[in-house]
């Protein structure tokens, strides 16, 4: 699952998904240490995260305090339960695209239909 919060991508993925750890500047084990969201910079991986961790991260980023974080990936044990719980907190709108505005910022989203290789 991929969600953008104030232009920062949040990826929620299952624990068993294999990823390239070299991509991350910081890796945190959520079961062993407290996550300090105000100290996060660049690309961060949180292992063994929970729905509570993700919602706390959402609240932090919604306050628009962090300017140094490029992305956050959260690996969770019960992916279906966590994503369902996260979606439950929001009104989900199915859309093909559109423009999202916030103060003087604009984002344009468009859904692109994947097509097979062109025949020449």
Domain boundaries, the chain: 2-92
Residue 107 binned pLDDT confidence (cut-offs 50, 70, 90): low
Alpha helices (H) along 10-92 = 51-62, 79-88
Query: What is the mean predicted confidence (pLDDT) over 3-16?
Result: 87
Q: Is the pTM of this model over 0.85?
A: no
Query: Mean of the per-residue pLDDT values for the chain?
Result: 80
Q: In this prediction, what percent of the chain has a pLDDT beyond 70?
A: 74
pLDDT in tens, 22-68: 889 989 998 898 888 777 888 999 999 899 988 888 888 777 666 78
Q: Which two tokens stand for residue 118?
A: 């062109």
């Amino acid at each position: 699952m991929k969600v953008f919060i104030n232009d920062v991508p949040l990826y929620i993925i299952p624990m068993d998904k294999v990823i390239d750890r070299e991509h991350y500047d910081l890796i945190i084990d959520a079961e062993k240490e407290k996550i300090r969201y105000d100290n996060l910079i660049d690309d961060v991986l949180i292992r063994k995260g929970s729905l509570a961790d993700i919602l706390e991260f959402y609240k932090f980023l919604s306050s628009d305090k962090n300017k140094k974080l490029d992305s956050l990936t959260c690996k969770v044990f019960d992916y279906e339960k966590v994503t369902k719980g996260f979606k439950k907190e929001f009104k989900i709108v199915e859309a093909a695209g559109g423009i999202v505005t916030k103060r003087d910022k604009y984002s344009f989203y468009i859904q692109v239909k994947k097509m097979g290789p062109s025949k020449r």
